[in-house]
Structure 1
């Protein structure tokens, strides 16, 4: 199918367009217990491990960004840490399946090598037959978050990148294709071409969770973000679709805003309008559940019209 890309769309344009789109409904807060008084946010979508649904979540005190990732299982409506599961010193967990194997990752933070008192980060990847079996197998470039992998129809691997700085400014999305996980290395990541014309330089975005569509296209759940004049951050969950054979991609569309979710706490005042896409469960009835971190303090889910169906027709 032809993917038509028009002009670069800003957050303001996308918000205006979204007013006329079907609106999300049925927001719900997810209840997490067993981690003291720490917040759980920036969660993955639920996935199956050893026959049970599990959510990976970022766990941290309200006044800190020293975070751990726990795996949670549902008990009587609340999510509690899975007994015996590993805990990782990471932020913003994600997962995919490649070759029948669980691929898990998150953002590792460490002191900046040259700027004293400044944090620095990279994306770290683990693989295993299940959560208990996970072993680290790859690290992304320093300074890169939102690095994602997806197994494509022919068994090759799509690599979605997000450089910042000289190549990506505040953060732009790139894409490349590799034959197998053995070719997943720093050179492949750094050489991935950017998807041109997705973001203006003052705004930024990234991929959170790629989905393989029935026709081989990649549906990408991500986020687009901007600062306002007061320096507050605004993060919006968005989607677009990419053709891995031609590199063509569709326009970004918003799928929700903070106001669609239930009111709640915020980590800081400047993060009140932040929704960080975690994962999307497509339900097969024309809707999908979006799992998201909200205001860097809570996790919620909301139901939306499945944004990828129209690309599969």
Structure 2
């Protein structure tokens, strides 16, 4: 299975490629969340089943704050409400996966910077359990690393990293494999090789969700982002594929842009053009539903062509 990898492309180049494809984004819908004291809910996961019920985890936050909780929601009469009795996690940007049948939930934890006064540091933390009610913390990632993800590869576990600083600049994706969750460690994560040629140094990105495809390839749903000359942020949902057996990977492709979703409010003016991939639900008819945080203030769902179908025919 040969994956196509060309020279690195900027967000501007990826936008031009995407515009030429004239991709159809349909059935856009704002998700309504209640029972959270009028706070914003954004950067949601895709729905997942827990004890026979569909659940969405979402970042719940006041408009003027970065301090958030992850709340588990269930749908009642067309609205998503906090699930009674479910834990609340003091995290940002939730995600989930299943490893050997066990539920893994995680997010970004912020805490006082160990050196800089009045500054914050962040890391990715993981919980595990047979269901939401039994989740217990089991791993904290390196200081300063968001977008750390795990995926069950059947014969091993894939680890997607995103260092910043000397190794990763503003944020680049790395990939490695481990034999079990017990093998996960900070040194291993810090030593994971980067996927070179995915991001220019002035831009950044990260993995949001990983899908094991029918042919053994790994489909990565993520985001790529940049600043413009005014300092405004631009976030785009994207995909690419990795061959876990060889380490080969494909070019990044955009799968949607902000103006294809419904208009809405933004947390700040510099965040208006933000689509933060949360999760993807694939369908047998060649489409998929993308769940995303919009402008750091809302959550929306839309139907797009299944972006991973192209990799399953290789």
Please give the TM-score of this superposition, normalised by the length of structure 2: 0.99
Give 5+ residue unaligned stretches, structure 1: none
Counterpart in 2 of 1:41? 42
Farther off after superposition, 184-193 or 140-149: 184-193
Counterpart CA distance in 2 for 1:218 and 1:107 is 23
Counterpart CA distance in 2 for 1:169 and 1:66 is 25
Counterpart in 2 of 1:89? 90
Counterpart in 2 of 1:125? 126
Counterpart CA distance in 2 for 1:285 and 1:173 is 31
Matches within 5 A, 1:77-226: 77-154=78-155, 156-226=156-226
Matches within 5 A, 1:293-308: 293-308=293-308
Counterpart CA distance in 2 for 1:139 and 1:102 is 16
Structural RMSD (CA): 0.6
Counterpart CA distance in 1 for 2:153 and 2:196 is 22
Aligned residues: 312
Give 5+ residue unaligned stretches, structure 2: none
Shift of 1:283: 1.1
Deviations 1:170-212, CA, capped at 9 Å, x for gaps:
0000001001111011111111000011100000000000000
**After TM superposition, which residue ranges in structure 1, 4 or more long, deviate above 6 angstroms?**
none
Deviations 1:243-271, CA, capped at 9 Å, x for gaps:
11111101000000110100000000000
Deviations 1:278-298, CA, capped at 9 Å, x for gaps:
000001110000000000000
Counterpart CA distance in 2 for 1:274 and 1:117 is 27
Instruction: Give the SS at the match of 1:281.
Output: strand
Shift of 1:20: 2.0
Instruction: Give the SS at the match of 2:205.
Output: strand
Counterpart in 2 of 1:10? 10
Instruction: Give the SS at the match of 1:19.
Output: helix
Whether the 8 Å contact between 1:205 and 1:223 is mirrored in structure 2 is: yes
Whether the 8 Å contact between 1:153 and 1:216 is mirrored in structure 2 is: no
Counterpart in 1 of 2:56? 55
Counterpart CA distance in 2 for 1:282 and 1:144 is 28
Q: 2:267 aligned with 1:252, yes or no?
A: no
Please give the TM-score of this superposition, normalised by the length of structure 1: 0.99
Counterpart CA distance in 2 for 1:35 and 1:241 is 37
Whether the 8 Å contact between 1:44 and 1:291 is mirrored in structure 2 is: yes
Deviations 1:206-249, CA, capped at 9 Å, x for gaps:
00000000011100000000000000000000000001111110
